[in-house]
Structure 1
Amino acid sequence: MAEGQSAATVKQRRGAVSLLLAMVLLGVFPLDVLLPSFPALAEHFRSTPADITLSISLFAVGIAGSQLLIGPLSDVIGRKGLLLAGITISMLGAVGCTLTTDYVHFLLFRVIQALGCGGFVLSQALIQDLFEGEERDRLRILMVTATGVFISVSPLAGTFLQATLGWQGSFVVFIALAGIVLLKACFFLENTRPAATGALSNIFQPYRRVLCDVDFLSYWLISAFAFACHFSFIVISPLIFMDQLQLSAYDFSLILLVYGGAYIVGGTVATLLGKRISPGHQVISGLCLILLSGLIMLYLSSHFTLSPFTVLVPMLICTAGTTIARPAATSKAMSLFPENAGTSASAGSTVIFICGGLISALISLSPANLQSTLGYSFIILSSVALVLNSRIHSRAKSPGASPSVE
């Protein structure tokens, strides 16, 4: 920030940063915190844990569907009103979840909660609107780091809430946090309109523009593949640590807590690298670390018996690579269409959601050794991402390259 900024402006920026971090927390909170409460939910609704899993799937589908509308709509009518409406809807859905005694109604209220949570996709658009240059890049690193930490800590928080408040506890805490974020958004966001204007009937038109840009898709795929490595581990970690290694739920939560600490270290490294090397080299460095983690994972799975150590060591390296590559790739993608930041964020978030969901599902369904499958996946995903990054730079050096790519 410029040295001559007023104290009020500095305070507003700090408020915006805390708001964005709170949006990141609320984006992951309704999913992972609820996992330890599956048995209690099944008992309450006289169902099975497998049926309760449907609520997670419907929640993800609800978020994916709503963000496709919210992003381009925010480019036309502004961010603040949509964000406030989304938070309010998510709170109403959470209230309904705590009060209902019918399983079908519970699923309906979870979808309503998810539709509101789709508004949190605007965090990337707000970063593009409110910050510039290195400050914008540092904030994206911070948000990626925070996402990993929140996801890793969530199972431990969910275990505590289930033990103290029952399955309703996660919804009650979500309502309280959402209320705080609602107030912060009212105070720290200006009611301004973005640069893009147009008729409501044409709000989906920008999708054709951004999705037809090869570099835009390539950067988001790089970010998605890096995220998929982390997300796949989170999805199958209960199978490795609790089913195969027979660890208790509490011990499993502590392991994920250590894994979350790796995000902090990775975020610190990414911040230091951001001051010394270009975003393009940050992407390459991060992807090479993910590739290295895959090779180490395969070596350990072949020469040592399965243990928390043989799984965590390569995952810590993978996490460092993820926190370095993802923010740089995201910043490059978002910089291509700054006038359509909402649409760009929604399109990119959908790409990440689809890749993370499909890849993690394929890994979890693999009949082979899960540790080896993870290793092969890291190698394949990082290699493909490196090829995509190389093609981007090849196009940028070609005589007909557009200035925005360089």
Structure 2
Amino acid sequence: MKQARFLDSGTPPHIATLVLAAGLAAMSMNIFLPSLATMATYFGTSYAVMQFAVSGYLAGTAVIQLAIGPLSDLFGRRPVMIAGIALLLVGTVICALAPNVLVFMLGRMMQTGVVAGIVLSRAIVRDMVPMDEAASMIGYVTMGMSLVPMIAPTLGGVLDDLFGWQASFVALFVVGIATLLLVWRDLGETNQAQATSFGAQFRSWPQLLRSRRFWGYTLTAAFSSGVFFSFLGGAPFVGTVIFKLSPSALGLYFFSIAGGYMLGNYLSGRYARRFGIGPMMLSGNIVNMVGIAAAFLFVLLDVAHPFAFFGPISLIGIGNGLTLPSANAGMVSVRPHLAGSASGLGGAITLAGGAALSVLAGAVLTPQTGTVPLLVVMAVTVVLAIAATEYVRWVDRREGELEGRSTDD
């Protein structure tokens, strides 16, 4: 494969381009979160209905990933990435101008096309480098990407206070245009073994679904990120209803978990090749458990300050930063010739679980219950993540580690 040259569409992309493409997808997910209560009032609907902008978006991205992966294996990473960002831009305009909540939700569903930035950044990395190096490089990509969710909710909260909730979508549109231009100029095609037909890609799914390793890595990613998606579904309610935070103040608390995610991804980038992906996944899930246990401890001590909830939960960012790069690298390495399909199918399963947990987290919370039901959902989810990690490590001990080759496990 050719050596990457920045702003040369005939060579593989610079890592910064993958960071921004994936970061745009993260930005579309969370920039407006501090405004959910404001938007519910604006559209004259309940918080539970407005929360569908999160859970419905996650479900939509899960569905669209089923097509993004095979399409990129068939037509290449570059055209699918460009089409996904273009779809985001159209959806963002609809959201900003929506006269009612139904039109707004239609725009949100169109925005799901931008998930190509996350799905294809993983596949592109796997096209370029072998598995252990892919775990390291994905860690660096997501470390840079994590700057976006670190800043976006804070920016969204400030924009809401100053100009109204629509300003968040204007900002998203401007960033989307800039990212589209960068991808157009820098993203060269990396898929050197394109599939023969779309149907052939779907017929190849049994190869993935029969793989115990694929399920181990996918369920590790699903449950580990599910801890965060549970938080995502419940945190706006916790912040605005239980702790009475303003949109800008809530955005600042989101900063801590995104900062933890950045740190975890940095550690993944630095140590994944040294320790291997199994230990990295396990260590991340242990950190998640410690964060949740600390939050429970503050509840038992009857500490009612917002930091008693958001502070310990910032460890979830570190834990996911340690776990997810390795889980995703393993997922797309089980069948390297199906990296795009594996990334799409695995991502769809992950986000479908995330959507369900997001809805569950929002449903169990009331002003009377406090944060305990949310913490229980998160604790159960992290236990399942540890079980999935131990399962794939058990397969490795029995049959030998994957080492980037196709297997018939």
| TM-score after normalising by structure 2 | 0.84
Residue in structure 1 matched with residue 5 of structure 2 by the alignment? 9
Report the secondary structure of 1:336's partner residue: coil
**Aligned pair 1:376/2:374, yes or no?**
no
Aligned to 2:26: 28
How do 1:168-179 residues align onto structure 2 when only pairs under 5 Å count?
Answer: 168-179=166-177
Which amino acid letter does the alignment assign opposite residue 62 of structure 2?
A: A
The answer to whether 1:389 aligns with 2:385 is no
Q: CA deviation at 1:297?
A: 3.6
Superposition map of 1:130-145 within 5 A: 130-132=128-130, 135-145=133-143
Partner of 1:195, secondary structure, is: coil
- Mind listing any 5+ residue stretches in structure 1 that lack a counterpart? none
Report the Cα offset of residue 75 of structure 1.
0.6
- Does the 8 Å contact 2:132/2:276 carry over to 1? no
Aligned residue identity for 2:392: N
* 1:350 to partner: Cα distance: 0.9
Return the match for 2:346 from 331, 345, 348.
348
Match of 1:127 among 125, 128, 149: 125
For 1:396, give the aligned amino acid.
Answer: E
The match for 1:95 among 75, 89, 93 is 93
Aligned length: 398
Displacement, 1:278?
A: 1.9
1:110 equivalenced with 2:113 (yes/no): no
The answer as to whether partners of 2:62 and 2:348 remain within 8 angstroms in 1 is: yes
Contact 2:218 2:331 in 1 (8 A): yes
Asked whether the 8 Å contact 2:96–2:169 carries over to 1, the reply is: yes
Task: Say if 1:76 and 1:321 are closer, same or farther in 2 by CA, change over 3 A.
Answer: same
| SS of residue paired to 1:246 | coil
Aligned residue runs from structure 1 range 162-311, under 5 A: 162-191=160-189, 193-311=191-309
For 2:278, the aligned partner's letter is G
Q: Distance in 1 between matches of 2:350 and 2:69?
A: 15
Q: Distance in 2 between matches of 1:24 and 1:285?
A: 24
Question: Match of 1:323, SS?
Answer: helix
- State the percentage of identical aligned residues: 23
- Amino acid corresponding to residue 198 of structure 2 in structure 1: L
Does 9-18 or 76-85 show the bigger shift? 9-18
Whether the aligned pair in 2 keeps the contact of 1:233 and 1:374 (CA below 8 Å) is no
Deviates more, 1:82-91 or 1:244-253: 244-253
Counterpart in 1 of 2:364?
366
Structure of larger gyration radius: 1
Aligned partner of 2:326 in structure 1 is: 328
Q: Does the 8 Å contact 2:336/2:406 carry over to 1?
A: no
What's the secondary structure of 2:351's corresponding residue? helix
Shift in alpha-carbon separation, 1:313–1:221, aligned structure 2, 3 A? same
Distance of aligned partners of 1:231 and 1:85 in 2 relative to their CA distance in 1, 3 Å threshold: same
Question: In the TM superposition, what are the counterparts of 1:57-96 in structure 2 within 5 Å?
Answer: 57-96=55-94
Please give the alpha-carbon distance, in whole angstroms, between the structure 2 residues aligned to 1:14 and 1:191. 6
How far does residue 132 in structure 1 lie from its aligned partner after superposition? 4.0
Question: Is the Cα–Cα contact under 8 Å of residues 89 and 173 in structure 2 kept in the other structure?
Answer: yes
Structure with larger RCO (C-alpha < 8 A, sep 6+): 2
C-alpha spacing 1:46/1:228, structure 2 compared with 1 (3 Å):
closer
Q: 1:242 to 1:386 in 2, by over 3 A?
A: same
Asked if 1 retains the 8 angstrom alpha-carbon contact of 2:127 and 2:191, the reply is no
For 2:99 and 2:237, the matched residues in 1 are separated by 31
